Amino acid sequence: MLQEGEFPMTARSKLKQALSEGKPGSECLVKGWVRSVRTGKGVCFIQLNDGSSLAGLQVVAEPDLVNFAEVCGLGTGAAIAVTGLLQESPAAGQALELRAAQVEVVGGADESYPMQKKRHSFEFLRTIAHLRLRSNTFGAVFRVRSSLAQEVHRFFAERGFLYVHTPIITANDCEGAGELFRVTTLDLAKPPLLNGAVDFSQDFFSRATGLTVSGQLEGELFAQAFSDIYTFGPTFRAENSNTARHAAEFWMIEPEMAFADLNDDADLAESFFKRLCSHALNNCAEDIQFFNTQIDKGLIERIEAVASASFARMEYGEAIERLKKAPVSFQFPVEWGLDLQSEHERYLTEQVVGGPVFILNYPKEIKAFYMRQNDDGKTVAAMDLLVPKVGEIIGGSQREERLDRLTARMQETGVDPESLSWYLDSRRWGTTPHAGFGLGFERLIMYLTGMENIRDVIPFPRTPRHAEF
């Protein structure tokens, strides 16, 4: 029995380690947050969690503790440090438990703590995004998110891809991929004017700047020097999008390969996506199992199917024919030249193919200026990866590497070649066929967890009207 104030020299164990490697009879020091307290007349049980795993550790406190009354009165949310001996649990529910020899209340929590030991709605938890992290679901979400981010880097590192940090502040609006957030140090109350318009030549960068909507253009330049590269960073879109799949700030993964065509691009996307599915199943098993039971009953089955599938590849033209023959009525029209709607994408991947499918070579009119023009004069070498339940999850293309074709296309689509002269330089000297794609990281996490709202897979979501926390 330890005296009050005396702590053993034991090093702190994370609960994940204590639960998997701890031996009955061994001394243990753990620190974490109280999830629930159950008190009896002569015994008190504390469910403790420190974020290292979904499972917590049951701490058993008995009246021989000097501060037994204080321990019995602990509230949900309190931070404590516990020393004691691990022992086999006599009751069902856990193999090991910690018989407390000393409990230090590090940070108390009174009854006003908003998280209760009951189920809360995700809507309510979003209003306490700073505390929801201590719940089972969000603990699992952010462990999976962290593990997948590390696996993304591992995947590309193994293949010799260079990781490049492209700029966050940019002066070009890329492909016109979205509305730009303005970055300025001008006095918004009285900005300098020139002929009635704001004079950005007096701004910090001597030009109008904003937050990046894509690192692709800079990524292409790096591919023309390092062959295979990828970016993985924050991306910003000032669109007034109010959906479960859009955020104003999100993280995007964008690989780019020189000396590569559309098939190479699809090959990379396929092995990349399958690898991430396998990783989630094999390395986040406890959390994925939780999602499968609590959030989305078919989750594991769906991920396993994708991880072992051979992805189908279908021409855009064939997709249109299949949709026209479909024995269902769509809300939106199906016609060669029109873009595929969500309902069409879902039908193709769920009903026609029954698994992941690449749609290849879209009409040039509905795609960006930088995509490579095919010999038919009508289509460009674009690809979208569609997966069941979600629809489009990856979008990519082979890039137009021929200077004359590229500048012609820019002029047709109203992009000033002069403003992207540095980009065009990559086509002037040593140009190569090259290709790449973009994967929205949050959408990947949604896919792998079954969570249905992007606001619930990003720590502190930024959406229209929301930038608190």
Partner RNA sequence: UCCCCAAUAGCUCAGUCGGUAGAGCGGGUGACUGUUAAUCACCAUGUCCCUGGUUCGAGUCCGGGUUGGGGAGCCA
Distance of closest approach, residue 72 Cβ to RNA, in angstroms: 8
Q: Min. distance of Cβ 440 from RNA in angstroms?
A: 3
Q: What is the CA angle 230-462-181, rounded to 5? A: 70
Length of the chain: 469
* Identity of the residue numbered 69: A
Minimum separation from the CB atom of position 120 to RNA (A): 5
Rounded least distance, CB 35 to RNA, Å: 8
Q: Which residues contact 452 (CB under 8 A, 6 or more apart)?
A: 244, 446
Can you tell me the distance from the alpha carbon of 338 to that of 363, in angstroms, rounded to the nearest whole number? 8
Asked if 177 and 395 touch (Cβ cutoff 8 Å), the reply is: no
The DSSP symbol for 21 reads H
**Given the DSSP bridges, would you call strands 96-107 and 57-61 parallel, antiparallel or unpaired?**
parallel
Q: How far is the CB of 176 from RNA (least distance, A)?
A: 8
Considering the complex, state which of residue 124 and residue 204 has its C-beta at the smaller distance from RNA. Answer: 124
Choose between 334 and 454: whose C-beta lies nearer to RNA.
Answer: 454
**Separation between Cα atoms, residue 469 and residue 466, nearest integer Å:** 9
Q: Which residue bears the tokens 């090991």?
A: 96
* 38-68: burial string, b at 16+ Cβ within 10 Å, e else: eeeeeebebbbbbbbbbbbbbbbbeeebeeb
Q: Which is nearer to RNA, 136 or 283 (CB)?
A: 136
User: Which CB sits closer to RNA, 200 or 246?
Assistant: 246
Short-list 68, 36, 65, CA closest to 49: 36
d(CA 395, CA 401): 19
Q: How many CB atoms lie within 10 A of CB 243?
A: 9
The Cα 240–Cα 11 span in angstroms is 50
Tell me how far, at minimum, the Cβ of 268 lies from RNA, in Å. Answer: 15
Tell me whether residue 288 or residue 444 sits nearer to RNA (CB atom). Answer: 444
Q: For the CB of residue 177, give the shortest distance to RNA in the complex, in Å.
A: 5
Q: Rounded to the nearest whole angstrom, what is the least distance from the CB of residue 427 to RNA in the complex? A: 21
Give the C-alpha separation, 448 to 389, whole Å: 11
Q: How far is the CB of 227 from RNA (least distance, A)?
A: 23
Residue closer to RNA, measured from CB, 203 or 396? 396
Q: What minimum distance in Å lies between the beta carbon of 266 and RNA?
A: 15
Of 409 and 443, the one with the shorter C-beta distance to RNA is: 443
136 or 263: CB nearest RNA: 136
Toward RNA, which CB reaches closer, 246 or 302? Answer: 246
CA pair distance 254, 141, nearest whole angstrom: 22
CA dist., res. 401 & res. 287, Å (int): 44
User: What type of residue is 25?
Assistant: G
Residue numbers of the site for RNA (CB under 7 A)? Answer: 36, 38-43, 45, 47, 58, 60, 73, 75-76, 89-94, 97, 99, 111, 114, 116-121, 123-124, 126, 177-178, 214, 237, 239-248, 250, 252, 332, 339, 341-343, 391-395, 438-440, 442-443, 452-455, 465-466
Distance of alpha carbon 382 from alpha carbon 377, whole angstroms: 14
Nearer to RNA, 90 or 160 (CB): 90
Q: Which residues on neighbouring strands pair with residue 312, listed in sequence order?
A: 357
